[in-house]
Every structure is written in C-alpha cells, then in structure tokens.
Amino acid sequence: MLFRSWHSTATQSASVGVATLVNLNVKDYESDISLINNNKFKVTYSGVYNIQFSFQFHGLSGGGSGTTTLVWFAKNGTTIPQSNTKVTVNNNSPYIVASWNFFQQLNANDYMQIYWATDNAQIKLEASSASPGPAIPSVIVTMNQIA
C-alpha cells in the first residue's frame, strides 16, 4: 500500500487575492510518495490517489471586512477545473477547520499541489500550542493510492 502523511508546524499567510501554495515541513509517514520543495506531492506509480487535508484557519482581529478563503488543487502545476471550495472565516467565530478529500488519476512522476487564497490578509493557516493537549498543526495532508 502506498501512503504518505505530512503536517506543518508553521503559521502560513497569503496576500489578499494571491494564489499561495500550502507548505508542509514535517514528514509523518512515507511510502512511494515524495514531498518535493515542501509543496509537491509526487507519486512513484500510476493509479488513482486520494489526497486529504485538514487546515486550521484563524481570522485575526483588525484585518478588514473580508471573510473568505478559497482552497483548490493543481496537478503538474496546472489548476484542476472544478476543484475549488470557498470557506468563510467569520469575525465572531475566528477558528474554522476545513477538511476534505479529492480523488485524482495520476501517472508515475505526476505531482499534486494545494493552493489557497483569501480576501483578508489577517486570515492565516495557524499552527499553535494547546493546553491541555498537544500542539495544533496549521495543515495536515495525507495521500494514498486507492486503485
């Protein structure tokens, strides 16, 4: 079975209206899927893959009136049509966890990437400490071959 899991211990920012790559800095598990340049999920074998993520968005105060983030996928550097999703981070509920999965046919040496954008520079992908309990990563990504 081919699988991989990564997470990020860094808080990540995006400029307003700018497509920004999601980065990961910690490898949890690995088997024939490589993380390249902290943002490319490169496969060794052809097949159908399931890529899942969990993002912790945090809307910091004082950032203006925008409340929207967008998250989408790219394959080999090209945006995948119909892969975008809108997430609202309201001022009165500043922590939102976005989590979903996406299936994609990949050939050997293809790679996937995840992008995000926001209309408010004070919305972050936030890593933080927690008490009680362990630290909270800003991003968790898993990927496995399913066919």
pTM: 0.94
Condensed to tens digits (0 to 9), the pLDDT of residues 51-76 reads 999 999 999 876 567 889 999 999 99
pLDDT of residue 13 exceeding 90? yes
Percent pLDDT > 70 in the chain is 95
Q: Can you name the residues that pair with 118 across neighbouring β-strands?
A: 16, 69
pLDDT of residue 110 exceeding 90? yes
3-class secondary-structure state, position 110: coil
CA distance 34 to 32: 6
Please, what sign has the CA dihedral across residues 83, 146, 77, 140? Answer: positive
Averaged pLDDT of the chain: 93
Which residues fall within 8 angstroms of residue 79, CB to CB, at 6 or more apart? 72, 73, 115
